[in-house]
Amino acid sequence: MKITIIGHNYFPEDSGIGLYTTGMAEFLALKHEVTIITGVPYYPQWKVHAEYANSPLFSKETINHVTVYRFKQYTPAKPTFFKRVLQMVHFLMGSVVNVLKIKKSDVIIVVMPFTVSIILGWFLKICKGGMFWIHIQDFEFDAALKTKVPSKHQITSKILFQIEKWTLNRADFNSTISKGMMIKLAHKSSVDSIYFPNWIDYSIINPENVQEHKAFSSTTFNILYSGNIGEKQDWDFYMAFVTAMQMHPEFHFYLVGEGAKREEIVQQLQSLGNFTYCPPVPYNQLNDLLCQADVHVLFQKPEFKDLVMPSKILGMMASAKPSIVTGHEDSEIKNNFEHSQGGGYFHENSIETVKQVLLQLKENPEIAKSMGLRARQYVVENFALESVLPQFEQDLIKKSKQFY
């Protein structure tokens, strides 16, 4: 099949949505002719990567058998709600040129966000035909409205939701990455939907292949958060917890990543003796980082339930180390931890509760080891690359046969 993918984030971005869009495209390219329409890489630093800083407005590459058409989109250094909207619109307008370069598509896949990219896919379908598939990684408008959107912009927000509803119903099929998001999607679109979760390459995130990572101290119990430092995590609780744990110098907190909240958090915590910030590590070093932590933490804002599914959870669990996670009491992530028994999940942000769990894990290394192994077993059984991606390809072929 000739497959065209439209997604704003792509290689060499090696975290978040770009990582999964790249993995999907390259897997499909093993048997199909795959083209992607994308932007220049900027995530998670919110700065165009150095190797693309001087690239032209439009460019074309071939990467691992995938034809890549890029448009150099506007990238705000400090993303706000409306700067992100401006980025979306700029990408939409510029990428129309790249869409017109596609001669034929049997399947068109749009990765959301950006929601407005769906318009590109629909335009391509009208012009050249093909089955139109929308894959939702993030309900971006809902998530944005959970953050700081001034009341004077509520009219704009209503317009955006109308755009989202209209665009989602242009597809022939939709998919998304969690069961909770499937339910959310059913309220937004009447189109048939398929569960297509993110996956883990457990041969890469593998504690048996770990090498010493220079980030950690060998004399402390090391607690890691690695990933996007953005609005969807509860950083107020994180900062309060790190501050409160100063009385336990045997614990050390490592914050690894980049994002809109990084500067604020590091500024408040950098003077504390139990806290260290490190910039994002390359993907080929991620295994060493994740597998050498003693415990992973992820403190989520409960209001983001069913709007996103943090893919970092898969890497945390695959590292064979226990995790401590907070979030909504009905979260799908909670179910993952209850079934795997690979860590602790709490719907209340209690400093004392999380502290007691950390103390127990430090004092009982065999319990911590058992938790970690159960977590890894769970993601290998349920989210392995070699089962998720072939199933998606089968769904794609099956639906395309029905379509044609």
Q: For residue 269, give the CATH number of its domain.
A: 3.40.50.2000
Asked if residues 62 and 95 have their Cβ atoms less than 8 Å apart, the reply is no
Do 6 and 116 fall into the same domain? Answer: yes
Lowest mean pLDDT among 5-14, 147-156, 210-219, 252-261: 147-156
343 forms beta bridges with 323
Query: Can you give the length of the chain in residues?
Result: 404
Amino acid making up residue 6: I
- The pLDDT of 310-328, averaged and rounded, is 92
In this prediction, residue 308 carries a pLDDT of: 60
> Number of helices and strands (H, E) in the chain?
14, 14
Confidence of residue 307 (pLDDT cuts 50, 70, 90): low
Do 26 and 146 fall into the same domain? Answer: yes
Longest dimension (CA), the chain: 66
In this prediction, residue 267 carries a pLDDT of: 95
In this prediction, residue 329 carries a pLDDT of: 83
**Number of structural domains in the chain:** 2
Amino acid making up residue 82: F
% of the chain surpassing 90 pLDDT: 69
Local structure of residue 379 (DSSP, 8 states): H
Do 241 and 331 fall into the same domain? Answer: yes
**Who has greater pLDDT, 106 or 282?**
106
Buried b (16+ CB within 10 A) or exposed e, 194-217: bebbbbbbbeebbbeebeebebbe
In this prediction, residue 306 carries a pLDDT of: 58
In this prediction, residue 83 carries a pLDDT of: 87
% of the chain surpassing 70 pLDDT: 95
Q: How many CB atoms lie within 10 A of CB 349?
A: 19
Domain of residue 216 covers: 207-382
Do 178 and 214 fall into the same domain? Answer: no
Do 286 and 360 fall into the same domain? Answer: yes
Do 366 and 396 fall into the same domain? Answer: no
Do 46 and 182 fall into the same domain? Answer: yes
How far is Cα 257 from Cα 135, in angstroms, rounded to an integer? 26
In this prediction, residue 147 carries a pLDDT of: 57
- The pLDDT of 287-300, averaged and rounded, is 95
Do 193 and 45 fall into the same domain? Answer: yes
In this prediction, residue 58 carries a pLDDT of: 97
In this prediction, residue 232 carries a pLDDT of: 82
Question: pLDDT averaged over the chain?
Answer: 91
**Is the confidence at residue 106, as pLDDT, over 90?**
yes
Do 170 and 194 fall into the same domain? Answer: yes
Do 181 and 45 fall into the same domain? Answer: yes
Do 59 and 179 fall into the same domain? Answer: yes
Do 393 and 374 fall into the same domain? Answer: no
- The pLDDT of 210-235, averaged and rounded, is 88
In this prediction, residue 50 carries a pLDDT of: 93
In this prediction, residue 383 carries a pLDDT of: 95
- The pLDDT of 128-148, averaged and rounded, is 82
**Who has greater pLDDT, 88 or 304?**
88
